[in-house]
Structure 1
Amino acid sequence: MINFFKRNFIKNLIQLLLSTLLLFAFFEGVFRLFGASGGGRFIERIVIHEHLSLRKPKDEFRIFTYGESTMRGAHYSPVSSPARWLQVYLKDFLPDRKIRVVDFSRLGAGSDFVHRAFRDTIPYQPDLALFYVGHNAFLPGNRKDQILTKRMKSRSRFNRWTRRSYFISGVYRWMIAWRSKFGPAVPEDKFEFSVIETPLPGVKLEDLIPRNNPSYLENIDFFRENILQILTLGEKHKIPILFFKPVCNLKDFAPTYSVHMKKLSAEELSQWEDLYEAGKRKQTQGNWNEAVELYTQAYTIDSTYADLSFRLGQAYFIKGSLAEARRLFEEARDNDALPVRTTKEILGVLEEFARAGKLTLIDTEKVLVSEAPGGILGEPIIEDNVHLSIKGHSLLGRLMAEKIAKRDWIAPKSNWRFDRARPYDEIAKELGVSQHLQVSADLRMVSYFGTRFENKIRFAKHALEIEPHNPRALRYLAWTYWMMGEKKKALEVYRRLEQLDPSSLEEIFKAQPDIATAFKNISHRKLIHSPSFIVSEIQSAFLIFVAVRSIS
């Protein structure tokens, strides 16, 4: 009897499994006819938000853009970005054509993500793909060893397997759509901490990747592999591709972390440090000639220290020696031990493919340099290390349109109505650029600048110039002063905040109890020294004296 039930159970279980597999195979076949394999949640959300269909209308021309935060619009996203300006220009220059620009770039993305984003969106039939990539090649999280380690994890393997299934991908896409419509909002990629008063993470030694580190060369090769895979996909699916040279702030962005890549003796290091510090003092005093002399002597001992190259570049820029200044600024960028800008070697990979005729590389710098004092890229066109101003978005968007027209894509160049170009301010207003957007962008930048306190103060104060009573701007300014150790200034700002938004102090005090203690102490000191408090205490003492005399 037991054997009978056992055999029956096994038989039923096998039938259930077979019927499940047949049902899955049926749905997989249906979805392969009408669906697509899956991408990551970020890609799927864009597909859903843009209402992209696999069956493209015959009269529609699709342009997909890929890249990092610069293409995304960074601190001005989603209001302004190169892709959004491109969309407006195309509407103006080709008013009779139906053109869609869909941006799949992402904050902090590296070449591996960009390659996968291109691969996963090919089923949506892009007619043209534009790429802006290179700044994040060495960013922690984008490095080859870290990505390969992540791929080896069981959850990552399972996700890759399920994405191959059209049926599972379709169900997953439906779940994302349902959640975005009815469920809690999924947080976007952010520049900011959720709580302003969050201590800044320090630089980890394992995050450093100087040029003499073998991992540096490994990640250049990894970047090359990903670019090659993008080009191979484009060729296979007959999708025209344009790459735009990633540019950075050379003049106004100091290296993130400097190290001596040259081995120095104790005596050489001591001599170098004395010259370097003496040069910094002369630079602070504005004595550029002596600063150059001292920095040059230190440079002779060791030229690999990125901050020294940057400071020497600043001195030559002030003196008007622009060619030498540019060379030194580029050297400072390339010797940064924590690179957050495209280095010479990464640019070399793109140029290598361009020379071989495998890709078209557009010189972005040429269109931006008109906004750069001295012809060296920096502020105001690039506001931090790599992120463009809104004016920069407009120039890059216009450049994209012109390069598309030059190749007779979408329509012959003679059909393009460049005479319909509208003023910058008019388009900016149409996109939604406003004073409030500028304040929001400034505050994102305050968070983004990390320990670059001078920049943080500058952007916080600029936000307050536009909106003097903005509580978030005051919080950012106060917290920056606090981290700098200028606690008196910080507490003065917190007192202003108390008058404008007293409820925000509760969150501040919860996040940083030390601020609560200091604030209460200074409030108490101000109270006991106030005239009203002194008069009140005298009155109380007098009443007590009268009461005692009456009793006696």
Structure 2
Amino acid sequence: MGQHTMKNKTKLSLKKKVLFSFATCVLFFLSLELLLNVCGVQPTYYDDDPFVGYSSNSPLFVTSSIRDGAEMVTAANKLIYFNEQRFLKDKPKRTYRIFCLGGSTTYGRPYDHQTSFSKWLGEFLQAADPTRDWEVINVGGISYASYRITALMEELNRYTPDLYVVYTGHNEFLELRTYGQQLDAQQPLAGLSNLIGQTRTFALTERLLKSRGEKESGEYGQKQILPEEVAAILDKTVGPETYTRDEQLWQRTLKHFEFNLLRMEHLADKAGADIVFITAASNIRNFSPLKSEHRDDLLADEQAQWEILVHSANVSSSNERYAEALDALDKASDIDDRHAELHYQRGRLLDRLGKFDLARAAYQRAIDEDVCPLRAPSSFQDAVRQVADETDHRVIDFERLVQRWAKDGIPGDDLFLDHLHLTIDGHRRLAAELFQYLEDSGTVSPNASWSELSRQKIARRIEGEIDTAQQGKALRNLAQVLSWAGKHLEAKQLALQAIQLAGEDAHTNFVAGHMLYQSGELDQAAGFLQKAIELEPNHVLARLDLAEIHLQQDEFVQAKSVIEKAIQLDPERQQSYVILEKVLENEPSRNSAPAGL
């Protein structure tokens, strides 16, 4: 009995020792945190990106020589990626400064700042509340992903921002990136690592290690060094063929994206600025996936059966038997549900059958399975919502807003010019949502004269300043990009829209003619090509296509005349001689027997 009592006392004593030791450690740690806080040591977990660095880092904004260094202006070497913007280096007292960050949508592509949501927002704010000077600065960088945006914020923090607006998610897979194995190893302890990383003790330890040169590889392994500006994979390849399914890279990219969102929040807080995130919306109805792949473990006989079912669905759909076609695709999906194009075609059929909610889900699944993900997948959209919620910051759920605005609740050509770039009206609507956010937060107090009539007046002014010819050329350029990416139907539609705006531009006529020629619409193509030559007689490419059309239509005299002029203009182009040889081979005089024999 006495021995049993002694054992219980010993056990109780051991528990007390453990608890006392734990309490001592916690008290020491809290005391150290308090001391470091008094000494001015701040957490540094999100100060640096442990995954990527840059080979060089020239500033986006430089001092203007016009105003004795008082004004900042976009650096000349950055204008290929950014709009030219100007603002005073030292923010005046009445000024509320907003930096709008993101990729090409924020930039205003395929146009520019003059029709971007940044421009609309600035006009709305100044008209509604002239008691303040509102600066809305467009810092959208073409092809910029989240990790490049955070690097920009480090620079922008020098200029006393009041608000950051961040529209991101589409460009995370544009550049080739690699991640160390440590990223995967950290995941089981991710929450603990994140908590410790945000302490001042960690910050002090990190600085001590860095001073000894022991932080070169970072917490997650060796940093990947990227070029100063975007080096998109698609710029180095013909279409999206380089892309292939890589689940591990996908997950690592998502984790890096989440880290960057938290880092943006940290950088905004460090500058004393607010931040609002915007989910990146895209065209899901009228733009098919860029690249599809079967699941990795699909057997040959399964793929054969899958192809039979897809062929059957295509036949049924062409005969307007949509329910029958859908049934065949559902069976194909049971065999392989990773093929992006299959989900897109399911969406088309459900759309035709009026099952719009199911169609929208199928279209979204097509984006999520796209092997060349140039539109933000749903997991990246969810990350934006989650980070905003966790950090108590506002998110404007633009993806869901465009669903509300779109016909049948499925965003398509009514709101987008291509796969993700907004129409001018789409930019206006987004600006209106941002304005509402600023009004709800008490940042802007509209005066009594602010009304729908005021907004219409601004719309007339912005739209009245649009150079329609330049707008048409921008659509033409976008059509060429889509054609290069293999989206020929979408490219042709854009090229025809461009003609409506820039019908007197030779190259726009050539692009429309070339795309119609590629789709077999020879007569209409010939009309645009002839117009291109009338406008620019030295347009050799237009002459090559026109000669080919004449050749296919057995118009050998016209073909010969056109191609001989092309050779005269550019005698070094080998394609011209190939066409001429075909013309000469098919001339009736060459193939007919000599008279009198």
- Confirm or deny: 8 A CA contact 1:461 1:477 kept in the other structure: yes
Taking a change above 3 Å as real, the CA distance of residues 237 and 272 of structure 1, as seen in their structure-2 partners, is: same
SS in 1 for 2:100: strand
Taking a change above 3 Å as real, the CA distance of residues 87 and 370 of structure 1, as seen in their structure-2 partners, is: same
Partner of 2:17: none
Partner of 1:100: 135
- Confirm or deny: 8 A CA contact 1:313 1:328 kept in the other structure: yes
1:141-540 counterparts in 2 under 5 A?
141=176, 152=225, 201-205=238-242, 207-208=243-244, 210=245, 213-261=247-295, 263-369=297-403, 371-409=405-443, 411-412=444-445, 417-418=450-451, 420-423=454-457, 425-430=459-464, 432-449=465-482, 450=484, 451-481=486-516, 493-505=528-540, 513=573, 515-517=575-577, 520=580
| Correspondent of 2:145 among 106, 110, 135 | 110
Q: Give, in whole Å, the separation in 1 of the partners of 2:296 and 2:150.
A: 36
What amino acid is the match of 1:327?
A: A
Taking a change above 3 Å as real, the CA distance of residues 349 and 311 of structure 1, as seen in their structure-2 partners, is: same
Bigger drift between 387-396 and 258-267 goes to 258-267
1:40 partnered with 2:58: yes
1:82 partnered with 2:117: yes
Deviation at 1:489, TM superposition (A): 7.3
CA deviation vs aligned residue, 1:9-47 (integer Å, no higher than 9, x gap): xxxxxxxxxxxxxxxxxxxxxxxxxxxxx9635454526
- Confirm or deny: 8 A CA contact 2:129 2:445 kept in the other structure: no
Q: Give, in whole Å, the separation in 1 of the partners of 2:426 and 2:572.
A: 38
CA deviation vs aligned residue, 1:285-324 (integer Å, no higher than 9, x gap): 4331221121111111111111001100110011011111
Taking a change above 3 Å as real, the CA distance of residues 462 and 413 of structure 1, as seen in their structure-2 partners, is: closer
| Correspondent of 1:123 among 158, 161, 170 | 158
- Confirm or deny: 8 A CA contact 1:276 1:298 kept in the other structure: yes
What amino acid is the match of 1:281?
A: V
Bigger drift between 464-473 and 492-501 goes to 492-501
- Confirm or deny: 8 A CA contact 2:61 2:75 kept in the other structure: yes
| Correspondent of 1:50 among 59, 73, 85 | 85
- Confirm or deny: 8 A CA contact 1:382 1:389 kept in the other structure: yes
Deviation at 1:403, TM superposition (A): 0.7
CA deviation vs aligned residue, 1:62-97 (integer Å, no higher than 9, x gap): 111000111111111133111111111112211332
SS in 2 for 1:75: coil
Q: How many aligned positions are there?
A: 453
Matched residues, percent identical? 20
Taking a change above 3 Å as real, the CA distance of residues 407 and 357 of structure 1, as seen in their structure-2 partners, is: same
Larger RCO of the pair (alpha carbons < 8 Å, separation 6+): 1
Q: Give, in whole Å, the separation in 1 of the partners of 2:439 and 2:95.
A: 17
Q: Give, in whole Å, the separation in 1 of the partners of 2:377 and 2:96.
A: 34
Taking a change above 3 Å as real, the CA distance of residues 415 and 487 of structure 1, as seen in their structure-2 partners, is: closer
Partner of 1:535: none
SS in 2 for 1:241: strand
CA RMSD of aligned residues (A): 3.7
What amino acid is the match of 2:576?
A: A
Q: Give, in whole Å, the separation in 2 of the partners of 1:276 and 1:512.
A: 47
SS in 2 for 1:254: coil
Deviation at 1:513, TM superposition (A): 3.5
Deviation at 1:138, TM superposition (A): 1.4
Partner of 2:20: none
What amino acid is the match of 2:338?
A: T
Deviation at 1:140, TM superposition (A): 2.6
Q: Give, in whole Å, the separation in 1 of the partners of 2:335 and 2:584.
A: 55
TM-score by length of 2: 0.68
Q: Give, in whole Å, the separation in 2 of the partners of 1:341 and 1:149.
A: 29
Mark the runs of 5 or more structure 1 residues left unpaired by the alignment.
Answer: 1-37, 161-187, 194-198, 530-540, 542-552
Taking a change above 3 Å as real, the CA distance of residues 501 and 412 of structure 1, as seen in their structure-2 partners, is: closer
Taking a change above 3 Å as real, the CA distance of residues 465 and 518 of structure 1, as seen in their structure-2 partners, is: farther
Deviation at 1:348, TM superposition (A): 1.9
Q: Give, in whole Å, the separation in 1 of the partners of 2:97 and 2:124.
A: 15
| Correspondent of 2:171 among 136, 147, 170 | 136
SS in 1 for 2:309: helix
Taking a change above 3 Å as real, the CA distance of residues 391 and 512 of structure 1, as seen in their structure-2 partners, is: farther
Q: Give, in whole Å, the separation in 2 of the partners of 1:120 and 1:272.
A: 52
Q: Give, in whole Å, the separation in 2 of the partners of 1:443 and 1:512.
A: 27
TM-score by length of 1: 0.73
